[in-house]
Each structure stands twice: as C-alpha cells, then as structure tokens.
A and B are shown apart, each in its own frame.
Chain A
Amino acid sequence: MENNEGKESHSSTEVAAQDGLGLLDKDMSNGSQTSVKLALCDLWLGISQWRLWILLGWQDIRQRYRRSLLGPFWLTLSMAIMVGALSFLYGALFSLDLDDYLPFLCLGFIVWGLISGIVTDGCVVFIGSEAFIKQISLPLSVYVYRLIWRNLIIFGHNMVVFVVVACIFSIWPGWSGLLLLPGLILICATGGWVCLLLGLISARFRDVPQLVASFIQVAFFLTPIIWKPELLGDRFGIVDFNPFYHFVEIIRQPMLGNMPDNTSWLVTIGFTALGWILTFLIFSRFRGRIAYWV
C-alpha cells in the first residue's frame, strides 16, 4: 500500500462544497482556501506521478510512429529536409552566408517547434483527454506534464539535426552550451502554465484552439526565425517586445556559443513567474469545473 500513497492522499482530501459560482458561498474564505489547497495538491500529486506521465508521453510518440521503419526519427528527417531546403532558399533570398545562417535557422526552427508544439497541443490538453478525465480520477496536471514531456522528446529528436549541422560547420558552443538546461527549464515552466490556462479556457470556449492556431502562425513570421533581427536595421529594438523572440534566444544563443542578452533572461523569467501566478488563481477557481466542461 505504501506505493499507493499518491492516490490515497488524493482521495482522502475532503472535496469541499462549492456552489456553481463560488461567490455565493457564505464561508467564502474557507471555501477559497480549500480550492487553493486542492489546486496545489493537484499540481504536486501530478509531479509525484512522473512515472505515469513519462510512460504516457513515450506512448504518444510510439503510437504515432510504430510500424514505420524510422520510427520517431521521421521527426529528425523531416526537420532536416525542412531546414536544408529553407536555408538554401532564404540564404539566397536574403543573400546571407550559409555558415552563419544555416545553424541560426536550424536552431530557430527546432526551438520554435517546441514552443508552438506546446502551445497548440496545450489547447486540447483537457479536451483530448476527455476519456481519461471522465473515467479515472487523476490529478489534472498529469495531462499537462505528459504533453510537455512528449514535446521534449520531439525536441530531443530534432536536436540531432543541429548536432549534424554543428559538426558540418564546426560549431562548438563551449561552456555557454550548458545554458541549454536553464533555457529548457524556463520554456517548460512557461509551457506548464500556458497549457493549463489554454487547456482550461479551450475546454469551456471551443473556438479558442482555432484562434490560437492562427495566432501562432502569425507569431512564427513575426519572430526572428527565418530572418535575422539585424535585418530590421535601426528598428531592431521592436523584437524586444516579442516574448517568443526571447524564449527562442535563451536556447539559440547558448547553442551558437554566445551568451543571451540579459533582457532575454529577464523577460522569460518574468513571463514564467507572472504567468504562473495568474494561471494558478484561475486554475484553483475553475479546476473542479473542467470535468464538466470536457
């Protein structure tokens, strides 16, 4: 039974009363306190079930590629083809030096894949897990962690392309390459609240996934991925207002052997912290409704 404690403590939590709005509750301080506690519980118990979401995340990948010859390395191959083709096209269009442009483009694409994957999948994190949510009582955060883990696996496969590119152009990130880790942690931490928030809103308002999908497409072109920010000339500063740019930078720059700008660290850390505060408030308020909405 010891190993079952995660489940046990979850079910023994008192599920407190909440009227539909939570506002009509007379003993309001008490009511909202419990909902905060339950939300924290959900997030924490979700983490403690890491074995489960790691397994489910792998299963998502395997299911997609089982019985194919290359398996998940199809991800790697299609990324390689994409980067190869585009770098020749855009390198010629912008008349850029391939030595410099191809690694830049490659990393940009890979990091963007991670970010956009988390955001677009995040919209359907609860809608897509409807069967699970309605059949067994797992912490809702498990579905979020599973999604982020799945996207990290994809990221890992795509990074193989960069390793090859780095070898060809003899790029060695050196010590700054270690910054990949904090960069990934920041992206995943932000991804966590983005999924939770978008997943919750999308469960209630079904046109949000469509909205987000078109937004993310526009964001791709507005973010310096296929174009270098230097191209903007003296209007260079406007990219600083694009949070996506900073999230790409905190991984792209270290891998190219440079230190990211301090602004990038500040923006990404601030984005993560503020986002979590906002999301936590919303999550603790509506967590109980998600099962009804999906």
Chain B
Amino acid sequence: MASIHLRNVDVDFPLYSGASRSLKTSLLHLGSGGRIGRTVSDRMCVQALTKVSLQLKDGDRLGIIGPNGSGKTTLLRVLSSIYEPSAGQVFIEGSVASLFDVALGMDTEGTGYENITLRGMLLGLSRSEIEKKVHDIAEFTELGDYLSIPVRTYSSGMLLRLAFAVCTSVEPEILLMDEWIGVGDARFLEKARVRLDDFVHGSSILALASHSNDLIRQVCNKAVLMDKGSVSAFGEVKEIIEYYEQNY
C-alpha cells in the first residue's frame, strides 16, 4: 500500500543576498540591534508552492503540468522529501525512487560495471540485488565489452543507455520523474519504451512532470495543473489537459 497525502503545503525559498549570507553582517546586525546590518532583515522569499493539497493512492498515475516556473519540480522534490515544506503536512507511505537526473553520481573514470554498482546503490539497491540485476542491465544496454572500460570513453548516447538501464531496474512503490527520459537512437528508443512501460506499471504510484501533453495523456490517468505555485486544477487527465491547452 502506497499513498501520498499533501495538506496545505507551502514552500518558501529564502533569497539571501551576498550581504545576508555573510556571517560578519549577521553578527553586526545582532550587535547593533539591527541598525547597521539592515540588509539582513530585508530577506526576500520566493513562494514556490502555496497551499498545495494533494491525495494519491495505489494505481494513481499523476501528470504534473504547467508553464515554466509554476512549481512542477519543486512539487516533485517535496514528494521525494528533499524539501521539507515551510508549512503544511506531507504524509508519504512506500518506498520512493526519484529519477530527476539519471546520470547523477556517475563516475566517468569508472568502468560501466562499476557505475552500475554505484548508481544502483544510490537508488537504494543492495549489493546482492545489484549482482542479480547486473546481467539483465548489461544485456539491455547492448554495450557488451564496453562495460569493462571507463565510462569516459562512451558517447553521450551510450552513457544515457547505461544510466537508463540502471535506473529502470529498481522496483519502487512510488516513482517520481522529471521529464521523460529520451534515450539513444530510434531502434533503441522503441526498446526503451517497452522497458519504461513495464517499469512504470510495476510501481504503485507515479508522478511525472512533463511539457509533453501527449505523453501525459498516454501514461497518466490523473493530472494536476500548477500555476504560480498553486494547484489551479486537479482531476481526470483528459479534462485537465483540455483546460490547459485552452487557457495557457
């Protein structure tokens, strides 16, 4: 059983100017009762999310849509408990895997196999789990002997294949993705598509932020439209996208 429940979540980003980032100014501020280092109190905040409430249960495939800077990525980061909200409550049940940057933590000097281990462990797999999966991953990437040489020699397409194969080998209950992963050449793309479908079906809850409405329509059954940090509409994917296309 996986579930996500956000209640009135606010996320405020403090904007620290150079002056307020300085310890000296802050101490001066304390010592002078706030007269000299006035810049410190002039702290600006960007409200990235305001009063976001959301409830997801098993089987929900949520598409997150909205214009640039509407809070899609921030929302995903709240869902993966990277950002703790400045107000409101977050309840998340189930193992979470967030695939925002598939190549995160890749060691370019390491071999393909070493990177499978490294990336796998970052995704929360144990060594024995990785050993079980490594064959399947290697086969999927079609990189063959290349996996034994440093990743630095790979083309960007090869690197992406490897990262993609490792990332899609975990089996999380809740899967969070920022933009769809576009991989490699046309032939590989079809193969990747099949694997991705399996991967997504394996999870109980999916949240996907994307600018491709077609993709959201294909993959998701629910959608949330973000606008200036708040939920502007939430519901069936068809209606929300229609509304989005007409109004933005």
Name B128's closest neighbour in chain A (CB-CB). A3
Of B49-57, B100-108, B158-166, B195-203, the one contacting chain A is: B100-108
Bound CA span A136–B128, Å: 22
Minimum distance in angstroms from A14 CB to a CB of chain B: 6
Of A79-87, A200-208, A217-225, A227-235, the one contacting chain B is: A200-208
> Which among A12, A14, A59 has the highest number of chain B CB atoms within 10 Å?
A12
- The reply to whether B107 and A59 contact each other, CB–CB distance below 8 Å, is yes
Among A8, A133, A205, contact of B95 (Cβ-Cβ < 8 Å): A8
Minimum distance in angstroms from A17 CB to a CB of chain B: 5
Name A24's closest neighbour in chain B (CB-CB). B87
- The reply to whether A131 and B104 contact each other, CB–CB distance below 8 Å, is yes
Bound CA span A37–B82, Å: 17
- Residues of B close to A55: CB separation below 8 A: 117-118, 121
Q: Does A6 contact B (CB under 8 A)?
A: yes
Contact flags (1/0) for B107-137 with A, using CB distance below 8 Å? 1011000000110011111111100000000
CB proximity to A under 8 Å, residues B14-67 = 14, 16, 21-24, 26
- The reply to whether A135 and B100 contact each other, CB–CB distance below 8 Å, is yes
Minimum distance in angstroms from B149 CB to a CB of chain A: 13
Bound CA span A52–B100, Å: 20
Bound CA span A20–B94, Å: 27
Name A19's closest neighbour in chain B (CB-CB). B87
Q: Does A43 contact B (CB under 8 A)?
A: no
- Residues of A close to B109: CB separation below 8 A: 62-63, 66-67
* A contact face: mostly helix, strand, loop, or mixed: helix
Bound CA span A262–B121, Å: 43
CB proximity to B under 8 Å, residues A6-49 = 6-8, 10-12, 14-20
Among B88, B98, B129, contact of A135 (Cβ-Cβ < 8 Å): B98
Known: A291-B82, A292-B14. A204 touches B89 (CB 8 A): no
> Which among A66, A135, A138 has the highest number of chain B CB atoms within 10 Å?
A135
Name B127's closest neighbour in chain A (CB-CB). A51
- Residues of A close to B124: CB separation below 8 A: 4, 6-7
Bound CA span A26–B85, Å: 17
- The reply to whether A211 and B84 contact each other, CB–CB distance below 8 Å, is no
Q: Does A69 contact B (CB under 8 A)?
A: no
Q: Does A132 contact B (CB under 8 A)?
A: yes
Bound CA span A131–B107, Å: 14
Q: Does B243 contact A (CB under 8 A)?
A: no
A-B contact list, 17 entries, CB within 8 Å: A1-B95, A3-B129, A7-B95, A10-B81, A11-B92, A12-B93, A14-B91, A15-B81, A17-B89, A18-B87, A20-B86, A51-B121, A59-B107, A135-B101, A137-B80, A137-B81, A292-B13
